[in-house]
């Protein structure tokens, strides 16, 4: 009996077919904290992420998130093309992995993970056209490298669907340095971000 069991277990796992790749689009908010408190405010955030599920319980991830005008920069400069608007943006580039806990049938996934993250805050000027760009000498920028942790879930509407709906929350901690942006002065700061997101994904 033991021999039969040992033979059947590998066969059972070989029948399990995992979609290896998952692409998600995220919509939510970016909430600043720690040294950013008072200088930055919560703002709208969007993102896109790619996951490679190399094992049933493990997935490697990389992505791109951006928040808009968290530093409340809203200036205008006058150029040969007229008044051009300057606004601030926050960029997050996370890279890491997650542990996935699937339910029977793979309709629900619960996950938690973490990794490293590159963060950049910068100001940008509105361009006159997509074919011609003007410089912005007065635009500021600062950046840093840190780490993040996340937790969340995904759900697919039926057992045969390749589409996912879910939610996640990411906590980012990073030290940034560089120019003054908005009310953030020129000095190294210890920043924290919490980004709750709705996820819409596709696996293949």
pLDDT surpassing 70 at residue 9 = no
Question: What does the pLDDT average to over 9-24?
Answer: 66
User: Could you report the per-residue pLDDT of 97-131, keeping only the tens digit for each?
Assistant: 999 999 998 999 999 999 999 999 999 999 988 88
* 14: confidence class by pLDDT, cuts 50, 70, 90: very low
Q: H-helix or E-strand containing 7?
A: helix 2-14
* 11: confidence class by pLDDT, cuts 50, 70, 90: very low
pLDDT surpassing 80 at residue 15 = no
Give the single-character DSSP code of 133: -
pLDDT surpassing 60 at residue 72 = yes
User: Does residue 48 contact residue 25 with C-beta atoms inside 8 Å?
Assistant: yes
What residues contact 21, with CB distance under 8 A and at least 6 apart?
Answer: 50, 51, 52, 53, 203, 204
For residue 82, what pLDDT is reported?
Answer: 86
For residue 133, what pLDDT is reported?
Answer: 87
Task: Give the right CATH number for 21-203 from 1.20.1300.10, 2.40.160.20, 1.10.357.10, 3.30.360.10.
Answer: 2.40.160.20
Tokens of 109: 């996934």
Question: What does the pLDDT average to over 163-171?
Answer: 98
Quote the percentage of the chain above a pLDDT of 70.
Answer: 92
What residues contact 34, with CB distance under 8 A and at least 6 apart?
Answer: 173, 189, 190, 191, 192
d(CA 67, CA 172): 13
- State the DSSP string of 117-186: EEEEEEEEEPPS-SS-----TT--EEEEEEEEEEEEEEE-SSTT--EEEEEEEEEEEEEEEES-BTTB-S
pLDDT surpassing 80 at residue 183 = yes
């Amino acid at each position: 009996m033991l021999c039969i069991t040992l033979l059947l277990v590998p066969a059972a796992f070989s029948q399990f077919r995992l979609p290896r790749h998952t692409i998600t689009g995220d919509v939510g908010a970016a909430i600043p904290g720690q040294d950013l408190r008072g200088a930055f405010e919560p703002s709208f955030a969007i993102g896109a992420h790619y996951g490679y599920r190399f094992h049933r319980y493990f997935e490697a991830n990389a992505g791109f998130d951006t928040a808009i005008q968290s530093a409340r920069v809203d200036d205008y400069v006058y150029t040969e093309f007229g008044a051009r608007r300057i606004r601030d943006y926050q960029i997050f580039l996370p890279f890491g992995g997650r542990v996935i806990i699937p339910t029977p049938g793979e309709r629900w996934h619960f996950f938690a993970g973490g990794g490293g993250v590159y963060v950049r805050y910068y100001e940008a000027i509105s361009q006159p056209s997509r074919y011609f760009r003007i410089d912005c000498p007065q635009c500021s920028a600062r950046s840093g490298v840190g780490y993040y942790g996340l937790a969340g879930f995904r759900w697919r509407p039926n057992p045969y669907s390749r589409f996912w709906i879910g939610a996640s929350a990411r906590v980012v901690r990073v030290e940034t340095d560089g120019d003054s942006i908005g009310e953030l002065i020129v000095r190294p700061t210890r920043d924290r971000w919490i980004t709750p997101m709705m996820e819409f994904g596709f696996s293949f």
